[in-house]
Amino acid sequence: MTLPAKSKTNISSHKNILIGSGIGAAAAIIILVITVAFPGSTTTGDNSIMVDPTKEKQSLFVLARVTLQNTGSQPLTNIMVDYGDGDKDIIPTLKPGKTIILSPPEGNSLQFVRVTADGGIDVYKAYREPVAMPGMMGS
């Protein structure tokens, strides 16, 4: 006469659930980091612009720049870059695919940049600080 077998608790399925949850969380974090680290463009019809204000703190100074790229199919006109603190630059035209890099005036607080242009372009972005890599200047 045999005794009924005692059912085992299925530990491997609990491990699979835990591993799957960990992988899902890691994927979500990676997507979030990529979204925040790399700027996107703002699009209105044929007009599109990518605005990327960055500031890098060095040991003796702060290196700041604002990158503008026309990612649309039409030229952008009357581009106004407002660095805050009353500091502004005006770019008459930026052709499709072209990129320009601007430097905010010395003494600017480097809090935000607002870029407006004809065609409904209005972008407001805070300065971001790129991740310091070991061995690179300022890290």
pLDDT tens digits along 6-34:
555 566 777 778 788 888 888 888 776 66
**Residue 49 included in any domain:** yes
Beta strands in the chain (DSSP E): 41-44, 47-57, 62-70, 76-84, 87-94, 99-102, 112-117, 121-126
**Residue 113 included in any domain:** yes
**Residue 36 included in any domain:** no
The CATH number given to whatever domain includes residue 92 is 2.60.40
CA gap 5, 74 in Å, rounded: 75
Please count the structural domains in the chain: 1
**Residue 85 included in any domain:** yes
Query: What are the distances in angstroms from CA 5 to CA 2, 8, 57?
Result: 9, 9, 68
% of the chain surpassing 90 pLDDT = 49
**Residue 23 included in any domain:** no
Six-digit token string for 100: 């320009």
Q: Answer yes or no: pTM beyond 0.85.
A: no
**Residue 93 included in any domain:** yes
Which of 35-39, 52-56, 65-69, 81-85 is predicted with the least confidence, judged by mean pLDDT? 35-39
Whether the pLDDT of residue 92 is over 90: the answer is yes
Q: What is the structure's pLDDT at 54?
A: 94
Q: What is the structure's pLDDT at 36?
A: 60
Range of 64's domain? 41-126
**Residue 6 included in any domain:** no
**Residue 29 included in any domain:** no
